[in-house]
Copies of this chain bind each other. A is one copy, B any other.
Amino acid sequence: MINKTTIDLEVRYAESDQMGVVHHGVYPQYFEVGRVHWLQQYNLHYHKLEQDGIMLPVYDLQIKYLKSAKFGDVLTVNTYLKELPNVKMQFNYEIFNQDDEKICIGHTTLVFVDEKNRRPMKCPNFILKLIQEKAGD
């Protein structure tokens, strides 16, 4: 579990559906909030990466829904890597509610893509170093 980060978010009314729970299609957004926060610990910002010509599209996504979340819940999103990135970088997520119940687990695999030729590329060295330094803490 490499460099886990934690961020809280409050469920929005708009995210509920007529079953009275957070619509399952909202969770990829929650994961993304966790992922963006994870990257920020290295001062890595999506928009800076994109300005540097590095794109990070999502290649796959998997979610297991364990319990439902409701409007007003305060959710905690834990985000971590299982292994160092290469061409791909797999983020793992766990989401807990305010009663510390695990409501959801999942992962997303992102691919490093060179914006110029739109081809996959290895994780840039400066990113790898940032992660390794922190992991060694």
Contacts and interface: CB of A to CB of B under 8 A. Distances in A.
A14 B25 contact: yes
A65 B19 CA distance: 22
Interface in A21-70: 21, 23-26, 28-29, 32-33, 36, 45-47, 50, 55, 57-65, 68, 70
A12 B24 contact: no
A117 interface: no
Interface in A94-112: 108
State the copy count for this chain: 4
Interface residues of A, number: 37
A24 B107 CA distance: 13
A21 B25 CA distance: 17
